[in-house]
Amino acid sequence: MKTHSLILIALLAIACNKENLSEDNTSLIRLKADIEDGTSKMTLNQDYSVEWTAGDEISVFTASGTNVKFSTEESGSSVEFTGLGQSSEIYSYALYPYNADAVISGTLISSRIPDIQSAGVNTFGETMNMAVAVNKDNVLYFTNAIGLMKFNIAEGAENIESITLSGNDNERIAGDATIDMSANLPIAKVTSDGVTKITLQSESGFQNGTTYYFVVPVMEFTKGISILFEFKDNTFGVLNGSSPAEIKRSGILDLGALTPASESGNPAVFIDPVFASQMLEKNYIQNLESLTFNELSKIKKIELKASGDAKGPLTSIKGVEFMPSLQILNCEYHNIRSADFSHNLELFDLRLTDNEVETIDLTNCSKLDRIHLAINKISEIDLVDKPGLRLIYLGENNLTELDLTGCNPDKVIGFTCSKNPGRDGEFRVKAWFDNNSIPANFTTGGWVYGTDNVKVVYENAMGN
């Protein structure tokens, strides 16, 4: 693999003129941003030179820790940024791109490397790169805090929905990150709360021969990398590489031309490791080193319900999307935080009682018969186009309301929703009946949520 130099040095000279806007010392502060030899953000050209783009925004941190947004209306290698700040403040450090949630403590900036990245055409996506600057004698010198990984698609690009990168040793490569500005060359380091995958998405669709980039932290993938292709027909393919891969600060690691193929490669690295070990223990899969999509596609039932007083070890069921034939999933009494079943079109029986689920995607799950999702943290769930649902257990979540109009009135025989917060003392349910004709085995009356009394209100939204 060939590495290209991506040396990034830009400078912002703080202009002396400040336009006072109010009596509280708030001023329109002007900063000049120049890009010297090499590359920075902002828009990556074919020769790896860059230019600022109109609309670019940066965070500038004051000595007191305030994060001030600066923006430019110009394009080019030398532009002016303006921002509203206190004229008495000292502007110490800067971060590209602007992040309202970025904070600084001493010399440590906390920001984020996106795990969902937008694909640019022959460049990285807008606002994906990360660069920082230190103020030295009223000049802010920008340097890259990350590296890049580039590739192009030889053929079949038009069929690709998304492209996901992962290290073969489950390295954390995105999410919350810190940058120590006291270092000689500051770099972004992903924290222990980071994630192990970066997914590249393109609004306009991927194209053959076009160069695409992952923005990644400075690190070494000691066991190599794997790249997962999700295709528009809901199938997947993986390209696995076992050779170590090093990402250098301001460097570009060239992966060359990739040729994805549906149902090819080993998807093991894209399955949560604890979930994989549990499936191995129960003989749902036989060997991670030789795992295939074909093997996963034949799984119809997974029973991993925890027993005893202690919760089970699962925090994720990432990898379930590779099981299109899955009909029954029971992972009750674990600590699973999210669940995406949009690829599990055959799912019939879903049981995740007493987990930590905050988000759940049941899109395309039109064959569901029962959902056991009580005692979680779900704040929103879409039950549209679920005509087969008979049992719906959603008590003790964070729901404020619910819509059952996508269910078949002749099918549903049990529904619970108690101990949800509701809104303004009511938990409103859109259904095919009202409070005067509540079917048997449906939640009635009310409950106490925290210190509030909540009552269930059924609204006949179907006009029957």
**CA distance linking residue 399 with residue 134, whole number of Å:** 46
SS3 state of residue 112: strand
User: Please, which residues bridge with residue 116 across strands?
Assistant: 199
pTM above the 0.95 mark? Answer: no
Q: Which residue has the tokens 């039109």?
A: 366
- In the DSSP assignment, the letter for residue 265 is S
pLDDT at position 32 is: 53
Across 98-105, average pLDDT: 96
pLDDT band per the 50, 70, 90 thresholds, residue 443: very high
What are the structure tokens assigned to 237, written together? Answer: 């393919």
pLDDT at position 308 is: 67
pLDDT band per the 50, 70, 90 thresholds, residue 26: low
370 and 350 Cβ atoms separated by less than 8 Å? yes
What count of residues does the chain have?
A: 464
pLDDT at position 23 is: 42
Across 159-171, average pLDDT: 96
Weakest mean pLDDT among 35-44, 80-89, 208-217: 35-44
Is 10 buried (19+), middle (13-18) or exposed (0-12) by CB count in 10 A? buried
**CA distance linking residue 303 with residue 5, whole number of Å:** 50
pLDDT at position 31 is: 59
Q: Give CA separation, 164 vs 89, 152, 181, 217, 357, in Å.
A: 43, 14, 30, 15, 23
Q: For strands 108-113 and 188-190, give the pairing.
A: unpaired
What are the structure tokens assigned to 122, written together? Answer: 């022959």
Q: What is the homologous superfamily of the domain 268-460 according to CATH?
A: Ribonuclease Inhibitor (3.80.10.10)
- Note the maximum CA span of the chain: 76
**CA distance linking residue 271 with residue 318, whole number of Å:** 5
pLDDT in tens, 381-436: 999 889 999 999 999 999 999 999 989 999 999 999 999 999 999 999 999 999 99
pLDDT band per the 50, 70, 90 thresholds, residue 87: confident
pLDDT at position 281 is: 96
pLDDT in tens, 230-272: 999 999 999 999 999 999 998 899 999 999 999 999 999 999 9
**CA distance linking residue 411 with residue 416, whole number of Å:** 15
pLDDT at position 12 is: 36
Where in the chain are all domains bearing CATH 3.80.10.10? 268-460
Residue in 236, 297, 224, 232 with CA at minimum distance from that of residue 264? 236
